[in-house]
Amino acid sequence: MKSDFEMIPAIVATASGAVGNELTFTFPDVLTAIRVCTENDIAVLGVEIFLVQSNKFQASGCSTYDLQMGSWGEVGVSDWSRYVKYNNRLAEEFIRQNPTGDEHVYVLTNSSWQEFCQLQQKGRKL
């Protein structure tokens, strides 16, 4: 099943490929993808960077801004747009501080409000 993120044509058009079933983006197109996420109320919860060599993907970095998000506590529907903007601003900042060449790709961990709620429900059942 495709995520809400993957259902946005502008996201798919910006992607450079995929790692498994996750879309990948090169710099600076990844910044466009994040802006589209913000416009569509999709939070970028984390960023991973991979070095691509001979069609193999080697992890070469990941964001840690999610540690700054602990101060939010529980996020409600009325907070979602602010939460998205804050997360995505931190994602953009991380990428601007970690620009890469064409031999690298970025993977964006993301969530829409609906997906976020589904994850919360699953967590409560466990």
Residue 7 is predicted with a pLDDT of 96
Q: Place 54 in a pLDDT band, splitting at 50, 70 and 90.
A: confident
Which neighbouring-strand residues pair with 105?
50
Q: Is residue 97's pLDDT more than 80?
A: yes
DSSP letter for 76, please. P
Amino acid at 97: Q
pTM over 0.85: yes
Select the more confidently predicted residue: 124 or 115. 115
CB distance 107 to 19 below 8 Å: yes
Select the more confidently predicted residue: 67 or 48. 48
Which neighbouring-strand residues pair with 19?
22
- CATH class of residue range 5-125: alpha beta
Closest CA to 10 of 46, 44, 35, 47: 35
Q: Is residue 29's pLDDT more than 90?
A: yes
List, in order, residues 6 or more apart from 126 with CB less than 8 Å away: none
